[in-house]
Amino acid sequence: MQTERPPPASGFLPIPTAHSPEVKREVIQQAGQGTCCNQDRRNQPQANAIGAAALIFLSGGLHIAWSIGFDSLLELEVSSHLRISWFIAAIVGAMVGGFFSRRFTYKQLMQTCAMLTVIGGTVMGARRFNVRAMLVARYLNGFGNGLALAPTLAMAGELSVYYKRGTTASAGEQWPTTLGIFVQIVCSASWDTESEFTVEQFQGVLSAILGVIAICMAWLLTIESPVDLLGRGDDQGAIDALSRLHRPRAVTAETYDQMDNHHTYLTHNQPMRGLRAWTEALPALLHLCLMRGLYAISSSMLVAFTLSCTSTIVYPGSSGPFVLFGILRLVGSFTSAFALDTLGRKIPLLLGLVMAGGLAVGVASRFVGSELVRVKDMRMALWLLLLYQLFAGFGFGPSSAYLSEAFPRSVKRQCIALAYVAEMIIQLGICRIDLSRHIDSIDNIAAFFFSLAALLLAEFLCSIWCMPETKLTTLLQAQIKFRNFVVSQA
């Protein structure tokens, strides 16, 4: 199946390529090839190639949920340092991964990150209620997650066909992270606190298992970026990588169409370095830093604290609201990830932001007007908070796809890392809040959700004018759409 050629008026010119006469150009005709199921089967190796990173992000989701308050340490006071340690390590890892990862192959990076996950999980699973062991484990896991993020999202954009890029990027990062958060929420809410085997030990053992599987996937399924291979002048290696990214493995007409697109992408980005690259990346970088910051707030310690307060009043002793909280966030992320290449990026983004903003106003309103806590207000606040998680998961799903395609190639990994660092700094800052001192009345909860609602609705209005629709575009076409602060609405 051949990709769409951009019209001549768009400024894209075909790059002549000399194909070796020894290479047989085989066109595969399959009945029903255009159907969704056949496309998924044919392009499955592209998702498999970043599968190791997805497992690492899943283990990171366990630690994020633990950091924001979904733990079961009744016998051990959790220090601020222990809570924020994962975020500190993730920041350091993201900077290393963003600025220095090109010195290594993607397979080497994923094997390193997976090994850090295994070691951290083993240390955490081996010791019961040991703060030092937990601290080491969280630093190792956080560093591995941060190190993996920028190269993985950059690779997701380069490995995927244009009609699967959004799903591949979002499902590779958002969905496993949210799944990890869900698993940790369920375990912390339903675990027997009298058991000799603690939730934290289970988290460590599960992380170690995920790390071992990730090592195997990195070894067997990782495929290097055909764009990187072309950049090094290895055309035959790029053709081989492209053929391996489809099932069945073969050199087809689509392979050469992708080669042409990658050549055009490289030719456009080759002179774009240094200050020129950063200048073109700035509009998207600022906006995506804001978006990832709101993504962090949407599943932060203050949100978890509000969930705990309302559920304790309305359904004391029940773990149901916590489980439903995790399920709805997971459903939102899952639905968004698989809608990005059909509905597009912009519809889920705008719908999720405006609904989440409206629901945040509703949550805040239940905490205003009376110092007396009323059960009916808390019940309404709880259900609005649960629905808020559904639409927050739906609305922030496109952020991974945007990160994978928004920036010039020479600064793409650095920009992805900076957006992730902004997200981690906000999580870290919220976790530093002393709830016993600063959140001492329901008015403060109301102020938090009113502020969050204002930011979400402002982001909604800003996204109407600043975020482009990049569905069914080549990587270069998507990159060009981000070069201005205000995008064309044509």
Domain boundaries, the chain: 47-223+271-481
The C-alpha atoms of residue 432 and residue 321 are separated, in whole angstroms, by: 25
CA 288 to chain centre: 12
pLDDT at 261 over 80: yes
More confident residue, 150 or 191: 150
CA angle 278, 279, 283 (to 5 degrees): 100
Q: What is the pLDDT of residues 10-31, one digit of tens each?
A: 444 443 443 443 333 333 333 3
pLDDT at 458 over 70: yes
Q: Tell me what percent of the residues of the chain surpass a pLDDT of 90.
A: 67
pTM above 0.85, yes or no: yes
More confident residue, 194 or 473: 473
Say which CATH superfamily domain 47-223+271-481 falls into: MFS general substrate transporter like domains (1.20.1250.20)
The C-alpha atoms of residue 106 and residue 332 are separated, in whole angstroms, by: 30
The C-alpha atoms of residue 286 and residue 267 are separated, in whole angstroms, by: 26
Q: How many C-beta atoms lie closer than 10 Å to residue 438's C-beta?
A: 9
- Residue 188: band (very low, low, confident or very high) from pLDDT cuts 50, 70, 90: confident
Q: What is the mean pLDDT of residues 148-168?
A: 94
Q: What is the pLDDT of residues 433-451, one digit of tens each?
A: 877 665 656 678 888 999 9
The C-alpha atoms of residue 389 and residue 423 are separated, in whole angstroms, by: 17
**Considering only CA atoms, which of 394, 107, 84, 345 is closest in space to residue 225?**
107
Find all residues with CB under 8 Å of 236, minimum gap 6, and list them.
Answer: 20
pLDDT at 7 over 70: no
The C-alpha atoms of residue 318 and residue 332 are separated, in whole angstroms, by: 23
- Tokens for 193, please give them: 């606190």
Backbone torsions φ then ψ of 431, nearest 5 degrees: -65, -20
pLDDT at 312 over 80: yes
pLDDT at 279 over 80: yes
Cα torsion through 113, 118, 120, 121, rounded to 10: 140
What integer pLDDT is reported at residue 13 of this predicted model? 40
What integer pLDDT is reported at residue 486 of this predicted model? 83
The C-alpha atoms of residue 395 and residue 416 are separated, in whole angstroms, by: 19
pLDDT at 330 over 70: yes
What integer pLDDT is reported at residue 198 of this predicted model? 85
- Residue 3: band (very low, low, confident or very high) from pLDDT cuts 50, 70, 90: very low
What integer pLDDT is reported at residue 4 of this predicted model? 44
What integer pLDDT is reported at residue 489 of this predicted model? 55
The C-alpha atoms of residue 232 and residue 307 are separated, in whole angstroms, by: 52
pLDDT at 385 over 50: yes
The C-alpha atoms of residue 19 and residue 235 are separated, in whole angstroms, by: 9
**Considering only CA atoms, which of 55, 485, 79, 133 is closest in space to residue 286?**
485
Tokens 């998680």 label which residue? Answer: 389
Among 25-29, 169-173, 226-230, 235-239, the least confident range: 25-29
Find all residues with CB under 8 Å of 309, minimum gap 6, and list them.
Answer: 378, 445
pLDDT at 6 over 50: no
What integer pLDDT is reported at residue 18 of this predicted model? 39
**Considering only CA atoms, which of 424, 426, 406 is closest in space to residue 416?**
406
Reading phi first (left if > 0) and then psi (alpha if -120 to 50, else beta), residue 472 is in left
The residue length of the chain stands at: 490
